[in-house]
Amino acid sequence: MLDQFEQQASTSKDKSADALDIFCRQLPLAVICEVLGLPQKDRPKFTKWFQGFSEIRNMLGIVGMLPNLRKVMNYLEQQFELFRKNPCPGLLSELVQAESEGEKLNSDELVATSFVLLAAGHETTVHLISNGLVMFLLNREQRRLVEVNPSLMPSAIDEILRLGFVIQMSKPRYVIHDTEFHDVQLRRGELIAAVFGSANIAPEKFYSPETFDITRFPNPHMTFEPVFIFVWE
């Protein structure tokens, strides 16, 4: 992929190349397809089908993606049929064979689970890599730090996750009865959500919260926090 990127940059008229399409999107998709056990020859299909997912901004965008969503669902259903007849290495084949108390996942459950793994499993990493590239290009002194000391890379990735807003918020939840949460009155039926993007730049938790600092410690960002489910007895 890096060779392809270099080749495009060297042969284009303006000496540029598209890192998002050639590397940032291709690498995570290749990894998740391998983990799931999907054929390598089918990866270009997923690249095409998922191309516009990150660009959805409204209901019109969602409607425009429906044909591609259907193609993904149909493809997964076909793969499950193949895996039932011929199990092979990979998570999807394991899901087909898995049982819980004597029951296997039905077709709808298999498709839903697999779609989440396929979409969420690579889309967030696409943005992690692309955001990281931008941050290092805009903060060259930070790039020099990690070049001199590669052991800073894990810390750098945490900082990219914190400031890059790969995941903005949790799924919305509904308050089940009137209650108070951190001095805020919540009423039954109100819609609430955890906003990770806001929490990750909270001055109460982070010094210079909007500064990109790969040596930041501690870095209690919430990017990987589980989705909050508010339940009051």
**Structural domain 2-138, CATH architecture:** Orthogonal Bundle (1.10)
Cα gap 114→110, rounded to integer Å: 6
pLDDT in tens, 192-230: 888 888 999 999 999 999 999 999 999 999 887 644 444
For the entire predicted model, the pTM comes to 0.77
Cα gap 215→116, rounded to integer Å: 33
Cα gap 143→135, rounded to integer Å: 9
Q: Enumerate the domain spans of the chain.
A: 2-138, 167-233
Amino acid 227: pLDDT? 43
Nearest Cα residue to 154 out of 162, 166, 31: 162
Q: What is the DSSP string of the chain?
A: -HHHHHHHHHHSTTS---HIIIIITHHHHHHHHHHHT--GGGHHHHHHHTTTGGG--SHHHHHHHHHHHHHHHHHHHHHHHHHHHS--SSHHHHHHH-EETTEE--HHHHHHHHHHHHHHHHHHHHHHHHHHHHHHHH-HHHHHHHHH-GGGHHHHHHHHHHHHTSS--PPPEE-SS-EEETTEEE-TT-EE---HHHHTT-TTT-SSTTS--TT-SS----TTPPPP-----
Name the more confident of 101 and 177: 177
pLDDT in tens, 122-159: 778 888 999 999 999 999 999 999 999 999 999 999 99
